[in-house]
Amino acid sequence: MLMAKQDYSQYQKSVISGYYNNLEPIMLQKLGELVSELYIAETQAKRDRLWDRAHKAMVQLKIPPAILDHIMQKKDVQILAKNLQDWLAHKKK
């Protein structure tokens, strides 16, 4: 199936470009929100969905596989939160 070529206006192109230029801070913020949600999640099903979203965010952030695997094996929100603090501190430098 072929997709039609998209013709975007100059404004649309600048919005799309801005999103991708700011993808890392956006994903770090999203990961921070997921940490908060994980702390208060009441059911295992909810925690599983949140961990899945956290995993996808870390993949988009290109977190090294060894770190990502460790976090996902433990599924300890405190470990995720500590790593997130480190990533945010590193980003500010």
Residue-wise pLDDT tens digits, 47-59: 999 999 999 999 9
Q: Is residue 4 part of a domain?
A: no
Q: Is residue 82 part of a domain?
A: yes
Q: How far apart are CA 24 and CA 27, in angstroms?
A: 5
Give me the amino acid identity at 7: D
Confidence of residue 40 (pLDDT cuts 50, 70, 90): very high
**Residues 79 and 71: beta-carbon distance below 8 Å:** yes
Other CB atoms within a 10 A radius of the CB of residue 35 amount to 19
Q: Is residue 55 part of a domain?
A: yes
Confidence of residue 2 (pLDDT cuts 50, 70, 90): low
Q: Is residue 78 part of a domain?
A: yes
Other CB atoms within a 10 A radius of the CB of residue 73 amount to 9
Full domain range(s) for residue 44: 37-93
> What is the domain count for the chain?
1
Q: Is residue 29 part of a domain?
A: no
Q: Is residue 10 part of a domain?
A: no
Q: How far apart are CA 32 and CA 23, in angstroms?
A: 14
pLDDT for 93: 64
